Amino acid sequence: MVIASLQGLPAFLVYFLVAAILSGAYVMIYTRITRHDEFLLIESGNSAAAVAFGMSLLGFAMPLASAIANSASLIDVVVWGLVALLVQLGLYFVARWRMPGVSDKIAVGDMAAALWLGFLSLGGGLLNAASMTT
Residue 73 lies in a domain: yes
- pTM of the entire predicted model: 0.91
Query: In the prediction, which pLDDT does 40 show?
Result: 96
Residue 45 lies in a domain: yes
Distance of CA 2 to the CA centre of its chain: 34
> Does the pLDDT of residue 93 top 90, yes or no?
yes
Query: In the prediction, which pLDDT does 2 show?
Result: 75
Tell me how many domains the chain contains: 1
CB 63 within 8 A of CB 84: yes
> Does the pLDDT of residue 128 top 70, yes or no?
yes
pLDDT in tens, 46-92: 999 999 999 999 999 999 999 999 988 999 999 999 999 999 999 99
Q: What is the largest CA-CA distance in the chain?
A: 58
Residue 83 lies in a domain: yes
Residue 42 lies in a domain: yes
Residue 1 lies in a domain: no
> Does the pLDDT of residue 7 top 90, yes or no?
no
> Does the pLDDT of residue 17 top 80, yes or no?
yes
> Does the pLDDT of residue 1 top 70, yes or no?
no
Residue 91 lies in a domain: yes
> Does the pLDDT of residue 130 top 80, yes or no?
yes
Q: CB neighbours of 46 closer than 8 A, spacing ≥ 6?
A: 106, 107, 109
Residue 6 lies in a domain: no
Residue with the bigger pLDDT between 5 and 125: it is 125
CA distance 7 to 65: 21
Confidence tier at 27 by pLDDT (50, 70, 90): very high
Domain range for 114 is 13-131
